[in-house]
């Protein structure tokens, strides 16, 4: 569902107001430090994730910044996309504009990169010409290597990063998380009203899919399963966030234009409305062929919706036993039918999701971020001094070498 011109203008105004609020808050933090009213370490959050709506990186960024501002407010002050001096510069995205001044930032700050993806995972999401893909892959790896430290959202990223030549000791794993106050179960009557507002039968079993419209998300399988199960209504929330370069754009576009009667594609939904969407589904079904650490799964868990996903290698290490799984469309259909027909099975799947939501509690993740930030501030200075001494030692050695005389 394409947004109207009026809605797009409202989004632009909202973004402009948000950026203005960030600038005002930045000035206040800098003023307090100049006047010695605050001596807390400063973290400068760098991101342009809001350039593309409907993508997980934006959701992760918003959650992480809110977490530091709210739960770690006694420990750190926060700047957003500021040019002012900071103790840690935390890069959430790797826009080329951030390269300007990076060398100076590294002289006065410790740099931390947030690794949401690897080059090979982007290859499965965007349909790019080979020469552009090669440039993008090279750029991404070089940006990671420029960082003093990295935080990965999935532990399976660590080995590839080490293979790029990045020091394992400077890589930390911190999982994604969501705010349980934002994503939570709603009362049954409210859920029925939400379904009706989207033209759905309020009493009919509903399967929800959430994510960008691209090949790796398994949208075609979602479509085929909906066709095969006409007694169940299916909804997909998400769109072509990257437009025509979204992998599988043309094929998937045709599917969205001619869905079966029991399937609705509702397009990109503003994040503040997503809790309604998760509650609208009786089950969250994501048949992706490749994933990183999908925020949609955590958000659906927080709304206490059963999770059904493809049996991928990455999931056991991050989702443990909090989900249901299958290998193919026949398996997915069996699981969905059982969830619909077997009340006890459904309630057990719901308990699994609640357990997963509790495991990724915001307070626990805040403690992990505090530990990483503290370690960077504590050990970063020693690491920087060691590098200076190593460089000075090499220079002295070169000076003593007759070859250089």
pLDDT in tens, 290-349: 888 889 999 999 999 999 999 999 899 899 999 999 999 999 999 999 999 999 999 999
Per-residue pLDDT for 2 more than 60?
no
- Tell me the three state secondary structure of residue 323: coil
Percent of the chain clearing pLDDT 90 (strictly above): 72
Task: Mark whether 227 and 165 lie in a shared domain.
Answer: no
Task: Mark whether 297 and 331 lie in a shared domain.
Answer: yes
Q: Is the pTM of this model over 0.95?
A: no
Whether 298 is covered by a domain: the verdict is: yes
Q: Mean pLDDT: which of 3-7, 228-232, 379-383 is highest?
A: 228-232
Structure confidence at residue 273 as a pLDDT band (50, 70, 90): very high
Task: Mark whether 156 and 244 lie in a shared domain.
Answer: no
Per-residue pLDDT for 380 more than 70?
yes
State the pLDDT at residue 123. 61
State the pLDDT at residue 8. 63
Element (H, E) at 272: none
pLDDT in tens, 50-81: 887 656 788 899 999 999 999 999 999 999 99
Whether 374 is covered by a domain: the verdict is: yes
Task: Mark whether 200 and 248 lie in a shared domain.
Answer: yes
Task: Mark whether 31 and 123 lie in a shared domain.
Answer: yes
Task: Mark whether 136 and 225 lie in a shared domain.
Answer: no
Whether 104 is covered by a domain: the verdict is: yes
Structure confidence at residue 403 as a pLDDT band (50, 70, 90): low
Task: Mark whether 351 and 372 lie in a shared domain.
Answer: no
State the pLDDT at residue 79. 97
Give me the number of domains the chain comprises.
2
Q: What does DSSP assign to residue 238?
A: B
In whole angstroms, give the CA distance from residue 226 to residue 211: 17
Domain that holds residue 311: 188-359
Mean pLDDT on 227-249: 92
Q: With contact defined as beta carbons under 8 Å apart, do 175 and 153 qualify? A: yes
Whether 242 is covered by a domain: the verdict is: yes
Task: Mark whether 168 and 192 lie in a shared domain.
Answer: no
Task: Mark whether 299 and 217 lie in a shared domain.
Answer: yes
Mean pLDDT on 361-369: 93
pLDDT in tens, 275-289: 999 999 999 999 999
Residue from 300, 273, 270 nearest 285 by CA: 300
Tokens of 347: 């309630």
Per-residue pLDDT for 254 more than 90?
yes
Per-residue pLDDT for 405 more than 60?
no
Whether 10 is covered by a domain: the verdict is: no
Task: Mark whether 263 and 374 lie in a shared domain.
Answer: no
State the pLDDT at residue 117. 87
In whole angstroms, give the CA distance from residue 147 to residue 186: 42
* Pairing label, strands 77-80, 88-91: unpaired
Whether 322 is covered by a domain: the verdict is: yes
Whether 54 is covered by a domain: the verdict is: yes
State the pLDDT at residue 56. 77
Task: Mark whether 148 and 211 lie in a shared domain.
Answer: no
Mean pLDDT on 20-31: 93
Orientation of helix 343-359 relative to helix 295-302, angle to 10°: 110
Domain holding 123: CATH number? 3.40.50.2000
Across the chain, mean pLDDT equals 91
Residue from 202, 190, 185, 200 nearest 235 by CA: 200
Whether 404 is covered by a domain: the verdict is: no
State the pLDDT at residue 208. 98
Task: Mark whether 305 and 370 lie in a shared domain.
Answer: no
Element (H, E) at 46: strand 42-46
State the pLDDT at residue 142. 95
């Amino acid at each position: 569902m394409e947004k109207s011109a009026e809605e797009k203008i409202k989004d632009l105004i909202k973004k402009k107001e948000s950026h203005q609020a960030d600038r005002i808050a930045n000035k206040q933090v800098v003023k307090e430090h100049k006047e010695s009213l605050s001596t807390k370490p400063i973290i400068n959050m760098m991101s342009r994730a809001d350039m593309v709506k409907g993508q997980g990186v934006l959701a992760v960024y918003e959650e992480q910044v809110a977490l530091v501002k709210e739960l770690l407010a006694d420990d750190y002050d926060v700047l957003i996309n500021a040019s002012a001096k900071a103790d840690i510069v935390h890069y959430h995205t790797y826009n080329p504009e951030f390269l300007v001044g990076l060398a100076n930032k590294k002289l006065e700050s410790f740099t931390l990169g947030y690794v949401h993806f690897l080059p090979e995972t982007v290859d499965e999401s965007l349909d790019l010409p080979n020469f552009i893909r090669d440039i993008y892959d090279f750029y991404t790896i070089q940006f990671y290597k420029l960082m003093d430290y990295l935080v990965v959202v999935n532990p399976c990223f660590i080995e590839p990063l080490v293979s790029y030549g990045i020091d394992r000791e400077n890589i930390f794993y911190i999982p994604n998380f969501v705010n349980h106050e934002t994503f939570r179960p709603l009362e049954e009557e409210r859920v029925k009203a939400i379904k009706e507002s989207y033209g759905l039968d309020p009493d009919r079993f509903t399967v929800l899919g959430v994510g960008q419209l691209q090949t790796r998300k398994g949208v075609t399988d979602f479509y085929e399963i909906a066709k095969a199960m006409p007694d169940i209504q299916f909804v997909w929330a998400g769109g072509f966030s990257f437009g025509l370069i979204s992998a599988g754009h043309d094929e998937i576009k045709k599917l969205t234009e001619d869905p079966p009667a029991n399937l609705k594609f509702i397009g990109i939904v503003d994040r503040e409305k997503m809790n309604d969407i998760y509650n609208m589904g009786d089950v969250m079904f994501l048949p992706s062929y490749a994933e990183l650490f999908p925020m949609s799964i955590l958000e659906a868990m927080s709304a206490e919706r059963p999770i059904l996903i493809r049996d991928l290698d990455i999931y056991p290490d991050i989702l443990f036993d909090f989900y249901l799984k299958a290998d193919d469309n026949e398996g997915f259909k069996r699981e969905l039918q059982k969830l619909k027909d077997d009340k006890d099975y459904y309630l057990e799947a719901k308990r699994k999701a609640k357990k997963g939501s509790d495991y990724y509690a915001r307070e626990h993740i805040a403690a992990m971020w505090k530990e990483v930030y503290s370690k960077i501030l504590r050990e970063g200075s020693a690491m920087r001094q060691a590098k200076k001494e190593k460089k000075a030692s090499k220079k002295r050695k070169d000076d003593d070498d007759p070859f250089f005389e």
